[in-house]
Each structure stands twice: as structure tokens, then as C-alpha cells.
């Protein structure tokens, strides 16, 4: 008695796709991914008040970048208490107080003045970061950076900028003078943007 070969129903083996059909989907998928990446990049670059670097760093950390506060003179009625150290600071309390207040009142100056003490390793972008840790949405200082209390270079840079500002120097002139005075022997400085003055 001869055995019949097992019968194969059409449901057990789906028909083979026509040659090249799988390959034809790949360019469509790649194109969709590229379009999506371009759209996300364009949104990040065109969003007001943010830079590509801020956006990518914030995205990598899973955070949204804080709104940029306008860099213009700003005065506030009262300040948080200064974070005086237990030891004697490198400059007088009067000088340090004046520089902290100047940093609070004039982000349009110190945001464009570099620091030369090595604080860029701590994320500082300019001399303002040596004194101001956080501002609220109105631009008021809500937290001080205590690094400026203990660093003579930070204080001296801020004090020189304050003196030049009082003399009527422009932000570009202040930056140039500070770089000439403090940058000569400095090994590094903060990645401070240039002022946009006409």
C-alpha cells in the first residue's frame, strides 16, 4: 500500500512576495525618518528663545529648556540674602556686595563678559553665572551662585566691568578691556557669546 505524500493546503504556506517588494519599502521608511528628523530639527532651531545646543542638551537630559530672560538692565526691589562663607572672603564685603548687585541689575553686561578662573568646567558661560544662579520669569534673582564669594578672579572681573560701565563704556568696550586685562595669562575662559551692539 503506497503512502500518499502529505497534502499542503494554501493556508500553511503564504504565497511568496513578488521579488523586490520588500526592498521597495526601505526607501519609504528611510524618507519618513529623514523628514521627521528635519522637522524636529527645524522646530528646535526656529523656536524663539532657544539655541540648538540648549534644546539638544535639554532633550538629552529629558528636560525642557527654561525660557530665556531678556538681557536688559533689570532692577529689583529686594534680593535674597548673600551666601556669605564662614571664612573671610578674598575681597571686602562691600566690594563683593556691590558686584553681586551689579550682576543682578546688569545681565546685559556680565552675560557678555567672560570669566577666566576655570569656572567653565562648572557650566558657567559668562561672569554673570559666577554670581547669579537663578532668575524667575520676571528676571528677578531668586538664588545666588556662591562661587563668586570665594573666587578673587570672578570678583575682580565683575568689579572691573562695573567700574567701566559706570564710566560710560559700551558692553563691547567693557569686554575688550576685561579680556586685555585678565585674559593675557589665563589658560581658559568661559564660552561667552559676543555682545550684539551696533
1 has pLDDT over 90: no
pLDDT tens digits for range 73-103: 988 989 999 999 999 999 999 999 999 999 9
Q: How confident is the model at residue 187 (pLDDT cuts 50, 70, 90)?
A: confident
Specify burial of residue 131 (Cβ count, 10 A radius: 0-12, 13-18, 19+): buried
Grid cell, residue 190, equals: 568661559
- Give the model confidence (pLDDT) of 50-72 as tens digits: 333 333 333 333 333 334 555 78
Spatial contact of 113 and 126, defined as CB atoms under 8 Å apart = yes
Q: Is the pLDDT of residue 186 over 70?
A: yes
Average per-residue pLDDT for the chain? 78
128: nearest Cα among 180, 71, 187: 71
pLDDT, greater one: 48 or 147: 147
104-137 confidence digits (pLDDT tens): 999 999 999 999 999 999 999 999 999 999 999 9
If you average pLDDT over residues 165-189, what whole number do you get? 94
Dist CA 180 CA 164 (whole Å): 13
Q: What is the pLDDT of residue 57?
A: 35
* pLDDT band at 184; cut points 50, 70, 90: confident
Q: Is residue 155 within 8 Å of residue 99, measured between CB atoms? A: yes
93 neighbors 85 (Cβ within 8 angstroms) = no
pLDDT at 69 (0 to 100): 55
Amino acid at each position: 500500500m503506497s503512502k500518499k505524500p502529505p497534502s499542503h493546503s494554501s493556508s500553511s504556506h503564504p504565497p511568496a512576495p513578488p521579488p523586490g517588494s520588500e526592498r521597495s519599502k526601505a526607501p519609504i521608511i528611510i524618507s519618513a525618518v529623514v523628514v521627521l528628523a528635519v522637522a524636529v530639527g527645524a522646530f528646535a532651531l526656529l523656536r524663539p528663545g532657544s539655541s540648538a545646543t540648549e534644546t539638544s542638551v535639554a532633550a538629552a537630559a529629558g528636560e525642557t529648556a527654561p525660557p530665556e530672560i531678556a538681557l536688559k538692565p533689570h532692577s529689583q526691589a529686594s534680593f535674597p540674602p548673600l551666601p556669605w562663607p564662614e571664612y573671610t572672603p578674598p575681597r571686602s564685603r562691600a566690594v563683593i556686595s556691590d558686584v553681586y548687585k551689579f550682576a543682578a541689575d546688569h545681565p546685559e553686561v556680565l552675560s557678555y563678559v567672560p570669566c577666566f578662573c576655570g569656572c567653565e568646567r562648572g557650566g558657567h558661560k559668562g561672569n554673570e553665572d559666577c554670581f547669579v544662579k537663578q532668575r524667575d520669569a520676571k528676571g528677578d534673582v531668586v538664588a545666588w551662585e556662591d562661587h563668586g564669594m570665594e573666587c578673587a578672579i570672578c570678583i575682580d572681573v565683575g568689579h572691573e566691568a562695573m567700574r567701566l560701565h559706570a564710566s560710560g563704556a559700551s558692553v563691547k568696550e567693557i569686554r575688550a578691556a576685561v579680556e586685555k586685562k585678565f585674559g593675557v595669562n589665563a589658560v581658559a575662559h568661559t564660552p561667552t557669546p559676543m555682545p550684539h551692539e551696533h
